[in-house]
């Protein structure tokens, strides 16, 4: 098969670098979602032969995925503990006889990556470059995720190392499972500042389905806006919609599956309104509290039955108001070490609404050796020599 063209999205100037410790507090009444694996059972669904969302029995605990081709299988996200990974691998063995050659981390967050250590050594872990760059401090990440464990923090004692991706990419890579291509995309900043976190979208063209991690949720569910601001997030969502015009189904990291373009349109509308109203409040000199009170609450009619969503919206307004003109930081005031930019994009051909990188993309083949040679599972194919160069790189 011929190599595909890799696509590098345009960089965006990072926000300012001044910070304030007052930004780091959560609004009164806010509590993180419960990601404890206690009581979690992953329920397989079928989108096509070999393509299975693994849906959490108790939302909003994490969803996962299994994608199998003729020669190999791929897992989407590893779970929050090694025990969850073992459940995923057990399900994979029931659903396919193909070997699990690849694991994709949609984000660096511990609820997606702490289980990496339980996967076999010959399973190649792939993610975006910003995700790997954020996987440097296991103790700190455990501390952050402890807020989602609701008394089960002791389960993190089984997480003894943070296994990081073996291969990283900047904007696009493709994995050939044998008769089934899986596209990996990083469209830009989403739930994080600057160029990260590196939300990785796992798209299966023949089923028109994508695993989207924290980037999107089902239309109508309160979105996450964890660290970043609306403007770069909107840019990312528009790039995704332009690049995946045939997208039908999204499998979010949390919550039910849904219509992909409807989810994008809904979130863009919310973020555009949030940005406009907060900008108006800043220009008028309103306080953070006044800004929260005057911004449109899209869930006002549901406030009596879903107060958490109202608190979530208030947190978005508060954070965006506090961060106007400044680089966002984590709720506890810390910033992770990360790359703040990438080389300026070359002038080139437009592709699906965003510029194309001039380098060919590498197709990652089943059984690929760490050294970059293309090795194959199953029947031999007419391909030899080194792997195609691309923006995917051995880490």
Token reading at 346: 């070359």
Question: Which residues, other chains included, contact 245 with Cβ-Cβ below 8 Å and sequence gap of 6+?
Answer: 352
Q: What is the mean pLDDT of residues 239-266?
A: 97
Can you give 307-324 as a three-state secondary structure string?
Answer: HHHHHHHHHHHHHHHHHC
Q: Are 388 and 364 in contact (CB under 8 A)?
A: no
Q: What is the mean pLDDT of residues 65-81?
A: 98
Question: Given a cut of 60, is residue 278 above it in pLDDT?
Answer: yes
Question: Given a cut of 60, is residue 321 above it in pLDDT?
Answer: no
pLDDT category at 299 given cuts 50, 70, 90 is confident
Torsion from C-alpha of 3, 9, 10, 11, nearest 10 degrees: -120
pLDDT at 295: 87
Q: Are 192 and 117 in contact (CB under 8 A)?
A: no
pLDDT at 381: 31
pLDDT in tens, 18-34: 233 334 456 666 678 99
C-alpha 146/C-alpha 222 separation (Å) is 22
pLDDT at 308: 46
Q: Which of 16-20, 297-301, 361-365 has the lowest mean pLDDT?
A: 16-20
Question: Given a cut of 90, is residue 53 above it in pLDDT?
Answer: yes
- The CATH code that applies to domain 21-394 is 3.60.15.10
**Stronger pLDDT, 116 or 294, i.e. the higher one:** 116
pLDDT at 21: 31
Proportion of the chain above pLDDT 90, given as a percent: 58
Q: What is the mean pLDDT of residues 284-307?
A: 77
pLDDT at 337: 39
Q: Are 43 and 257 in contact (CB under 8 A)?
A: no
Q: Which residue shows structure tokens 């830009």?
A: 188
Chain-wide mean pLDDT for the chain? 76
53 forms beta bridges with 65
Q: What is the mean pLDDT of residues 284-305?
A: 79
Residue 292 CB: number of other CB atoms within 10 A? 20
pLDDT at 178: 97
pLDDT at 353: 26
C-alpha 108/C-alpha 106 separation (Å) is 7
Question: Given a cut of 70, is residue 273 above it in pLDDT?
Answer: yes
C-alpha 324/C-alpha 286 separation (Å) is 13
C-alpha 289/C-alpha 286 separation (Å) is 8
The model carries a pTM of 0.76
Q: What is the mean pLDDT of residues 236-252?
A: 97
75 forms beta bridges with 66, 103
Token reading at 373: 């040679």
Question: Given a cut of 90, is residue 58 above it in pLDDT?
Answer: yes
Q: Are 243 and 212 in contact (CB under 8 A)?
A: no
Q: Which residue shows structure tokens 């989108």?
A: 47
Q: What is the mean pLDDT of residues 160-177?
A: 97
Q: Which residue shows structure tokens 């309104």?
A: 273
Q: What is the mean pLDDT of residues 150-178?
A: 97
Question: Given a cut of 70, is residue 74 above it in pLDDT?
Answer: yes
pLDDT in tens, 173-221: 999 999 999 999 999 988 665 445 678 999 999 999 999 999 999 998 8
Q: Which of 154, 189, 7, 14 is nearest to 81 (CA)?
A: 154
pLDDT at 65: 98
pLDDT at 149: 96
Q: What is the mean pLDDT of residues 346-362?
A: 32
End-to-end CA distance of the chain: 25
Q: Which of 340, 311, 352, 346 is nearest to 30 (CA)?
A: 311
pLDDT at 240: 97
**What length does the chain have?**
395
């Amino acid at each position: 098969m011929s190599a595909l063209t890799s696509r590098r999205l345009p960089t965006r100037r990072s926000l300012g670098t001044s910070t304030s410790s007052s930004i780091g507090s959560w609004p009164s009444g806010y509590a993180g979602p419960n990601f404890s694996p206690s009581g979690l059972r992953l329920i397989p669904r079928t989108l096509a032969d070999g393509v299975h969302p693994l849906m959490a029995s108790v939302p909003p605990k994490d969803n996962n995925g299994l994608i199998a081709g003729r020669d190999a299988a791929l897992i989407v996200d590893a779970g929050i503990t090694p025990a969850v990974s073992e459940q995923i691998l057990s399900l994979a063995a029931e659903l396919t006889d193909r070997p699990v050659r690849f694991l994709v981390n949609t984000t660096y967050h511990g609820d997606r990556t702490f289980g990496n250590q339980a996967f076999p050594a010959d399973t190649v872990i792939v993610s975006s470059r910003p995700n790997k760059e954020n996987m440097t401090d296991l103790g700190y990440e455990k501390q952050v995720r402890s807020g989602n464990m609701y008394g089960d923090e002791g389960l993190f004692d089984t997480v003894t190392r943070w296994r990081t991706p073996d291969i990283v990419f900047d904007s696009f890579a493709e994995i050939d499972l044998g008769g089934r291509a899986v596209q990996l995309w990083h469209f830009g900043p989403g739930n994080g500042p600057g160029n990260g976190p590196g939300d990785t979208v796992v798209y299966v063209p023949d089923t028109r389905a994508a695993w989207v991690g924290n980037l999107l949720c089902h239309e109508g569910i309160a979105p996450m806006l964890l660290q970043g601001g609306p403007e770069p997030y909107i840019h990312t969502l528009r790039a995704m919609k332009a690049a995946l015009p045939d997208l039908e189904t999204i499998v979010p990291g949390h919550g039910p599956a849904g219509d992909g373009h409807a989810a994008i349109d809904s979130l863009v509308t919310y973020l555009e309104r949030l940005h406009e109203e907060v900008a108006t409040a800043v220009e008028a000199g309103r306080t953070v509290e006044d800004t929260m009170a005057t911004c449109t609450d899209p869930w006002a009619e549901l406030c009596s039955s879903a107060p958490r969503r109202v608190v979530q919206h208030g947190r978005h307004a508060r954070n965006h108001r506090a961060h106007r003109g400044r680089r966002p930081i984590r709720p506890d005031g810390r910033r992770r070490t990360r790359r703040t930019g990438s080389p300026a994009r070359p002038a080139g051909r437009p592709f699906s609404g965003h510029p194309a990188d001039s380098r060919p993309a590498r197709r990652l083949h089943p059984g690929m050796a760490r050294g970059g040679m293309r090795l194959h599972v199953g029947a031999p194919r007419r391909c030899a020599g080194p792997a195609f160069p691309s923006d995917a790189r051995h880490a």
